[in-house]
Structure 1
Amino acid sequence: MAWPDRHRLLPFLTWLPRQTRASARRDLLVGLSGAILALPQSIAYALIAGLPAEYGLYAAIVPVMVACLWGSSWHLICGPTAAISIVLYASVSPLAVAGSSDYITLILLLTFLAGVFQWLLGLLRFGALVNFVSQSVVLGFTLGAAVVIALGQLPNLLGMNLPSQATALKTLQHLLEHAGEVDWPSLLLGLGTVLLGAAVKMLRPRWPGLLITLTLASLLAWSLPGLFGHVQLVPGFIGQLPPLSPLPLLDLELILRLLPSAVAVGMLGLVTSLSIARSLSSHSEQLIDANQEIRAQGLSNMVGGFFSGYLSSGSFTRSGLSYDAGARSPLAGVFAALWVTLFAVTGAGLIAHIPIPAMAGSILLICWGLVDHRAIRALFRVSRSEFLVMALTGAATLLLELQTAIYAGVLASLFFYLKRTSRPRVQQSREGDADVLRVGGSIFFGASHYLQVRLQRCQGPQVVIDARQINFIDYSGVDMLHREARRLGRAGGSLTLQRARPQVIEELHKLEGAANCPIRFED
């Protein structure tokens, strides 16, 4: 009885002992690339939140380590984000002067309260809500967020000093209004970084492309001061370890005043983090424990508030880099936090040599990698209605504020969820060498995860689904069955559908064609 309790309290014990020297070295290198990206981003986001620059670094150390060690995703990396920073500034700036000691205290107290709210949701097992978010909404949200981040980096790539805007449309409009202010050396340096990074990714995908491109761009800017001497560099800072921050937890009036904002920003952080985790898990074929992830997010913000780290959530760019660079475990995020700590204390001068246009070019490459082009094309072939939902979610992300678009996507998912049942009737039996599952209901985005779990609980590699009562299957169900069939095939087994309706077989063939379909069919 002691082992399950121990692993529940310390979930990293389930994967940490399985690490090898090779995987640890890989995660160490991935963590270094993540730290190089996190340092300038964290500083910029802290300034957006109205905080001194060093508080961005603090948010990228202790909260990141806690979230990685207590979470369930292999690739989700947390930390300060643009959306969270903007919402925090809008919530707290009316109560205190930005950057003041009172302002910092309010931000950290709000962070702690949001963490408590998130942790309680995890304890109450509200993680099932992640199953309500369809694959099409995740694809649309990821696509829109990648475009938003990319547009936000264009002023840095072009050498412009423009204020941040609330939506992508306003950012684009602001760029067009200042089109004549392009700094050509900055643009040259940024585009060179994009081309070099793309070449390294194509020719040597295992190399640390971000680290290579930023190092070469920094050396180029340093060696040609006549051409690049005016190009903006990452701001310098005084490094130190995150200091302890006492919080006014006994001030009930202040807590009640901050509570509505804490609930709103806590929900924003959870939806963002779970959306990113689910998007990455669809690539890595990893099952996410949503309740564990929610508890980890809450714990990271509760602890982070006492270590001067303001509210963190899943980061698209840093999580995308972790997956794209081949992280083997959450240890990559822990190493990234340790690298940030090392650089924050000893390497502040080196970080201040990175040109901002080169950093913007690297982020553009990461944004391109976040977009799942293959899944979008497959979604268009499998289900036009789900493709429309994806397009609407992406458009909302571009036209509305990011947090509003997230809520819109979740509501769209809930709408579709309520139209169908999420837990089809499944009767399991053993017939000969095969596990037989009789499924009584449709296989759609709300039910695919449940059915996938039932399939993976089967004892043998030969699995048969009695599909007589399956009237409907969507892209998420098609994709899940294809992945399960390939998983069973790698184990020497197979996935067979018996007595499937013609429309179900047709949908399953749309993804890869009848000739390449990994699923067997029997009458």
Structure 2
Amino acid sequence: MNALPAWLRDYRREWFAGDLTAGLIVTVMLIPQSLAYALLAGLPPQVGLYASLLPLVAYALLGSSMTLAVGPVAVASLMTASALQPLATPGSPEYVALAMQLALLSGVMLLAFGALRLGFLAHFLSHPVISGFITGSAVVIAVGQLPHLLGVKIQAHGVWETLAALVHALPQTQPVTLALGGGSVLFLWLSRRFLARGLARLGLAPGTSELLTKLAPMAAVLVTTALVAGLGLAERAGVRIVGAVPQGLPSLTVPLPSLETLGPLLLPALLISLVGFVESVSVAQSLALKRQERIRPNRELVGLGAANLASAVSGGYPVTGGFARSVVNFAAGARTPLAGVISAALMALVVASFTGLFHHLPHAVLAATIVVAVTSLIDTHTLKEAWRYDRGDALSLLATAAGVIALGVEAGIAIGVACSLGVLVWRSSHPHIAVVGRVPGTEHFRNVERHRVETVPGLLALRVDESLYFGNANVIEDRIEARLAADPGIRQVLLVCPAVNLIDTTALGVLTELQRSLARRGIALSLSEVKGPVMDRLRGTPLGQALEGQIHLSTHEAFEQARRTLGAV
């Protein structure tokens, strides 16, 4: 009994209605998404359905979120296509096998990260980088679906090449396909913007209106499939359709990669794992906060790893937590992961008995559902906020998005991480240094340029708001020398160090030489508010010995000693 997950051991009967409702609604939403995202990944449509079966059960047993909906998602599908298209022909048996191997490797990596308790890895991809990556991916995905909406076939890779090829292919546009795809885009966009509001005006509860709006893609699929089948548009107008979808549950197999394919798949598997984990945890945490629940990042690694292993052995491809489905799952009343298990059972029923219903489903409509879904991922809000608050983060976001669009998924992530690290290094190498004085009548010290404070003639009190290391040690020395040159009357330099968590070897050497240089000029160097771990390392060094008696517990103490030493009144 102890092997059961906590939510199942403590399950309450009153939760079942919410879980059942959420499972039903998410299934209706998941069917068109699974088919569409498989198309986006370059895979046969049934692979998307397979990836919506066992992964949901595996995550329910091992994940920590009560409402995260796992399955195929747009970004992971794009990354899958980006990784596999150079290795095999999309849709071929070899391509499908590689997708399963990619899921297997991703699952193994996530499980290993979970076992090693590496949940903190999520923090290495900053929010602007993730936002820029998803925004760039959304643009790439949307542009990639335009040929399906127009009913044209082109051979192109990348956004610019695709757009250029589309311009030349416009005369071959199929009017009926464009009508179906364009009409679906318009319907889905109008539904997203106005349907919930209209239903609310008709008297439906706001929550119900929002849930019905999320089911608009399924309505588009049903109506257009009926039109294509009833009017014979595939034969008469050349509308591309999904065609025969194999019926029956997938067989279980272990898709072990060969040595030849292992190398090319390792980096894509790692990137899919990291991006999927970060995206899933952010969604899970935002939903958990609404119910005062807790998300355990290391447990999420295990849950997502198990979900990807389950997808691999059941004929699927990499999966992760989906934002839109998770929000719908939460809003529909899901209380526990049983909602995901119910969705998996319903999807199994569809795969086993009803795949024939998808035969006449037009590709243009699946492309329309993808386009409308991913355009909502273009995150202009974060860009505006970052531009107002922190230009460095905004530039990282833009660089990541531009890298994904111009150079591809892997290059985009590399550019984003490099930009984030570059901004971090630049900031730490240009620390904020303030001349401080004492607020009258207190023991508090503040920037002389921001506050009316008391100073001691002959004392230069500098607060360094950064750890001291090889990247900024000389900057601090240069700032001190500039102050000394501007005021020849300075007889004592006080470094206020409450923000200094580290003094590395290079900085120690710079400070040691600075102390000696100042001493030769008759200027004393002292420190205040040095943290314990920093002080422990200074003891026994030449600098620590030279400053004996000049390292003060508080800046107030150093200030008073300077008043006495310098003869201030």
Q: Normalized against structure 1, the TM-score is what?
A: 0.66
**Structure 2 CA distance for aligned equivalents of residues 139 and 29 of structure 1:** 28
Describe how 1:3-402 pairs up with structure 2 within 5 A: 10=5, 13=8, 19-42=15-38, 45=41, 48=42, 54-73=46-65, 74-75=67-68, 77-79=70-72, 81-91=77-87, 93=88, 99=93, 108=100, 111-163=103-155, 165-201=156-192, 202-204=194-196, 205-207=210-212, 208-225=215-232, 229-246=237-254, 256-278=259-281, 280=283, 284=287, 286=289, 288-309=295-316, 311-314=317-320, 319-323=323-327, 326=331, 328-329=333-334, 330=337, 333-402=340-409
Residue deviations 1:368-427, cap 9 Å, x none?
222344333323322222222111111111112113322332343444556779xxxxxx
Report deviation, 1:107. 6.0
**Structure 1 CA distance for aligned equivalents of residues 133 and 9 of structure 2:** 31
Q: Secondary structure at the match of 2:251?
A: coil
Question: In 1, are the aligned partners of 2:248 and 2:351 still within 8 Å (CA)?
Answer: yes
CA pair 331-142 structure 1, distance change in 2 beyond 3 A? farther
Describe how 1:374-523 pairs up with structure 2 within 5 A: 374-416=381-423
CA pair 188-244 structure 1, distance change in 2 beyond 3 A? same
Question: In 2, are the aligned partners of 1:64 and 1:300 still within 8 Å (CA)?
Answer: yes
CA pair 86-339 structure 1, distance change in 2 beyond 3 A? farther
Residue deviations 1:209-264, cap 9 Å, x none?
1112222222333444479753222222221111122566xxxxx75555434432
CA pair 285-388 structure 1, distance change in 2 beyond 3 A? farther
Report deviation, 1:356. 1.7
Report deviation, 1:307. 2.8
Question: Aligned letter for 1:167?
Answer: G
CA pair 56-278 structure 1, distance change in 2 beyond 3 A? closer
Question: Aligned letter for 2:20?
Answer: A
Question: In 2, are the aligned partners of 1:272 and 1:314 still within 8 Å (CA)?
Answer: no
Question: In 1, are the aligned partners of 2:84 and 2:98 still within 8 Å (CA)?
Answer: no
In structure 2, the residue matched to 1:431 is none
In structure 1, the residue matched to 2:452 is none
Which runs of no fewer than 5 residues in structure 2 stay unpaired?
A: 197-209, 429-463, 467-497, 501-569
Question: In 1, are the aligned partners of 2:211 and 2:332 still within 8 Å (CA)?
Answer: no
Report deviation, 1:34. 1.2
Question: In 2, are the aligned partners of 1:119 and 1:298 still within 8 Å (CA)?
Answer: yes
CA pair 328-263 structure 1, distance change in 2 beyond 3 A? farther
**Structure 1 CA distance for aligned equivalents of residues 307 and 123 of structure 2:** 23
In structure 2, the residue matched to 1:509 is none
RMSD: 3.7
Question: In 1, are the aligned partners of 2:211 and 2:328 still within 8 Å (CA)?
Answer: no
Question: In 1, are the aligned partners of 2:110 and 2:304 still within 8 Å (CA)?
Answer: yes
CA pair 32-400 structure 1, distance change in 2 beyond 3 A? same
Residue deviations 1:83-109, cap 9 Å, x none?
214424545x49xx9526xx8667655
Report deviation, 1:273. 0.4
**Structure 2 CA distance for aligned equivalents of residues 274 and 420 of structure 1:** 28
**Structure 2 CA distance for aligned equivalents of residues 388 and 15 of structure 1:** 48
CA pair 394-346 structure 1, distance change in 2 beyond 3 A? same
CA pair 265-332 structure 1, distance change in 2 beyond 3 A? farther
**Structure 2 CA distance for aligned equivalents of residues 386 and 197 of structure 1:** 33
Question: In 1, are the aligned partners of 2:83 and 2:265 still within 8 Å (CA)?
Answer: no
Q: Which has the larger radius of gyration?
A: 2
Question: In 2, are the aligned partners of 1:235 and 1:352 still within 8 Å (CA)?
Answer: yes
In structure 2, the residue matched to 1:430 is none
- What is the aligned-residue identity percentage? 25
Number of residue pairs aligned between Structure 1 and Structure 2: 404
